[in-house]
Amino acid sequence: MLETLNAQPADALLALIKLHNADPRPTKIDLGVGVYRTGDGDTPVFGAIKAAEQILLDTQNSKAYLGPEGDMGFVHALIPYVFGSDFDRSRVEGMQAPGGTGAVRLAVEVAARAGAKRILMGTPSWPNHAQIVSAVGLELKTFKHMTAEGTADLEALRAALADAAPGDVVLLHGCCHNPTGVDYTNAQWDEIAQMVAASGVLPLIDLAYQGLGDGMEADAYGLRKVLAAVPEALVAYSCDKNFGLYRDRVGAFYAVTSDADALAKAMANGATIARASWSMPPDHGAAAVRLILGDSALTAQWINELTAMRARMAEVRERLAAAQQIGPINMAPLGSQKGLFSMLPLSGEQIMALRERHGVYMAGSGRVNIAGLTTGNIEAFVAALKDVAG
Ligand code: PMP
């Protein structure tokens, strides 16, 4: 029977990791997979996480099952950070999920069970968004996320919403857009909140990089604006970047409603979907986050570590922007783009030439992981870009 399965394309980004690992050149540069790196090229465990893990090691006396909703102390501890300290807590409830991926999956499945037929989404987007929408069996309607000038394309979003039908969901990146780094400005979010409210579509906000753009509060601006304007919304959250927990798979799915009965039903449906998918989310990373957020000294330590990450990425962006113009590529916008990623308008041949001639590894889309650049390799990267595109 299994021989009848269709072959599947290899995951391009995972294949890139293998190619990079096999390259013997010591000067090679990995701008592929989306993890933060220090100026030394490492992806260390946060000190605050290590401290919380030590507490867990010393005090955790059971690993008995928690339930499909996971660690509710973790889920509730995040609420003031995501929704704001003054958010009406009766409007929101959540559950833990295996990473932001699990949270997006839960959100899309709950929307489908509530009768959603279509997801409106700006492209390019994180490739897994489209895969999840398709796996759940919903239709995807795309619009352009970015203008040719490299700004967020509000008109395309406006047109998509004007064309929306009842039962549509609009998927928005809360901050640090993957893969473009092009976020909506606060003034644009003000408009988006009104546009979404007027359209009647259900917003699904994916917040996977809070704190990596302008800070924890600033990065929640758009989400909070939209939630203040609409009666209902879904949120998919990831702690895998802002707590450096990647492989521990730490995320949360939230529903916001104006009706207690709808909120309870959203959670009950989320729980049955979780039960039939992974039964319960992995505990360890979420427990560590709960301990950090419940202790002011650990919270301050975590915020300091997050601030240092953001400062390093800002410095790299500033240096890239200083290159100004490389052939047809305007480097200046990279300075104001947000988060781990930006996209360079390179052809497939140029991306291959960067790999073969210079050992620079980046996704075929031209997406670069800003944190892959360090004081030690940024000049070489700019020189390589000049060689292939200048
Ligand atoms: N949403 C977006 C936009 C992402 O870029 C990612 C992953 N990089 C995720 C969700 C999921 O993150 P994870 O499952 O690793 O927590």
- What number of CA atoms fall less than 13 Å from residue 141's CA on the CB side? 18
2-7: long-range contacts at Cβ-Cβ below 8 A with a sequence spacing of 24 or more? Answer: none
Mutate to test the pocket of ligand 1, among 176, 234, 238, 241 (most ligand atoms within 8 A of CB): 238
Instruction: Evaluate whether residue 53 is within a structural domain.
Output: no
Q: pLDDT for 196-238, tens place per residue?
A: 999 999 999 999 999 999 999 999 999 999 999 999 999 999 9
Rounded CA separation 367/39 (Å): 20
Pair (216, 278) in one structural domain: yes
Quote the pLDDT of residue 80.
Answer: 98
Distance from the alpha carbon of residue 327 to the mean position of ligand 1, in angstroms: 33
Which of 234, 266, 294 represents a domain boundary (last residue)? 294
**Per 3-state DSSP, what percentage of the chain is helix, strand, and coil (rounded to 5)?**
50, 15, 35
Q: Token pair of 195, please?
A: 């546009």
Evaluate if residue 10 carries a pLDDT over 90.
no
* Structure-block tokens of residue 66: 């928690």
> Looking at ligand 1, which atom is closest to the CA of residue 177?
3
Query: What pLDDT, on the 0 to 100 scale, is given for residue 73?
Result: 98
Give residue 12's pLDDT band: very low, low, confident or very high (50, 70, 90): confident
**Residue 193 and residue 107 share a domain:** yes
Q: Is the pLDDT of residue 162 over 90?
A: yes
Scan for tokens 């995951």, then name that residue: 11
Residue 2 lies in a domain: no
Residue 23, token pair as written in the block: 């390259």
For the stretch 309-360, pLDDT in tens is 999 999 999 999 999 999 999 999 999 999 999 999 999 999 999 999 999 9
Ligand 1 center from residue 245 Cα (angstroms): 12
pLDDT at residue 364, rounded to an integer: 92
Residues 18 and 130 in one domain: no
Q: Which residue in 328, 336, 310, 315 sits closest to 366, CA to CA?
A: 328
Q: What token pair was written down for 260?
A: 């207690």
Q: For residues 170-198, b (16+ Cβ closer than 10 Å) or e, as one string? A: bbbbbbbbbbbbbbbeeebbbebbebbee
Residues carrying an active site annotation: 126, 206, 208, 241
In a domain, residue 56? The reply is no
In a domain, 58, yes or no: no
Mutate to test the pocket of ligand 1, among 133, 178, 237 (most ligand atoms within 8 A of CB): 178
Of all residues in the chain, the percent with pLDDT exceeding 90 is 96
CA-CA distance, 40 to 43, in Å (whole number)? 9
In terms of residue numbers, what domain contains 349?
A: 10-45+309-389
Question: What's the pLDDT at 170?
Answer: 98
Strands across the sheet containing 168-173? 92-98, 250-256, 233-238, 202-207, 168-173, 118-123, 139-144
What CATH code is carried by the domain that includes residue 94?
A: 3.40.640.10
Q: What is the pLDDT of residues 366-384, one digit of tens each?
A: 999 999 999 899 999 999 9
Q: Quote the pLDDT of residue 377.
A: 95
**Quick one: 273 and 331 in the same domain?**
no
Q: Is the dihedral of CA 124, 209, 190, 92 positive or negative?
A: positive
> For 247, which DSSP code?
G
User: Does a structural domain hold residue 168?
Assistant: yes
pLDDT for position 117? 96
Instruction: Please report the pLDDT score of residue 155 as a whole number.
Output: 97
Does 99 reside within a domain?
yes
Are residue 174 and residue 272 in the same domain, yes or no?
Answer: yes
Q: What is the pLDDT of residues 105-134, one digit of tens each?
A: 999 999 999 999 999 999 999 999 999 999
Q: Are residues 117 and 226 in the same domain?
A: yes
Residue 14 has pLDDT above 90, yes or no: no
Alpha carbon nearest to ligand 1 atom 8, residue = 34
Q: Does residue 228 lie in a domain region? A: yes
- CA 1, distance to chain mean position in Å, is 37
Q: Based on the fold, state whether residues 152 and 201 are members of the same structural domain.
A: yes
pLDDT recorded at residue 315: 96
Ligand 1 proximal residues by C-beta, below 6 Å? 34, 99-101, 104, 126, 173, 178, 206, 208, 238, 240, 251
Instruction: Tell me which amino acid residue 63 is.
Output: K
- The answer to whether the CB of 100 falls within 8 A of the CB of 206 is yes
| Average pLDDT for 245-254 | 98
Burial code (b: 16+ CB inside 10 Å, e: under 16) for 1-26 equals eeeeeeeeeeeebeebeeebeebeee
Other CB atoms within 10 Å distance of the CB of residue 343: 22
- Residue 150's pLDDT band (cuts 50, 70, 90): confident
Average pLDDT over residues 169-187: 98
Are 288 and 315 found together in one domain? no
Contact assessment for residue 230 and residue 257, using Cβ atoms and an 8 Å cutoff: no
Max Cα–Cα distance, the chain, nearest Å: 61
What pLDDT does residue 390 have?
85
Average pLDDT, the chain: 97
Non-local (6+) Cβ contacts of 235 within 8 A are 82, 94, 103, 107, 174, 204, 205, 206, 207, 223, 253, 254, 255, 256
Give 59-79 pLDDT, tens digit per residue.
999 999 999 999 999 999 999
Residue with CA at minimum distance from ligand 1 atom 1:
208
Instruction: For residue 368, give the 3-state DSSP assignment.
Output: strand
Does residue 166 register a pLDDT over 90?
no
Atom of ligand 1 at shortest distance to CA of 238?
A: 16
Pairing of the two strands 250-256 and 233-238:
antiparallel
Asked if residue 236 and residue 287 are part of one domain, the reply reads yes
Domain count across the chain: 2
Q: How far apart are the first and last CA of the chain?
A: 53
pLDDT at 27 over 90: yes
In a domain, 224, yes or no: yes
- Taking a C-beta distance cutoff of 8 angstroms, is the pair 207, 237 a contact? yes
Residue at 312: amino acid letter: R
For residue 301, name the pLDDT band (cuts at 50, 70, 90): very high
The enclosing domain of 353 has a CATH number of 3.90.1150.10
The verdict on 183 and 272 lying in the same domain is: yes
Among candidate residues 267, 294, 321, the one where a domain is terminated? 294
Both 27 and 173 in one domain: the answer is: no
Q: Are residues 161 and 133 in the same domain?
A: yes
Question: Which of 295, 250, 319 lies closest to 70, judged by CA?
Answer: 250
Domain end (from 294, 320, 337): 294
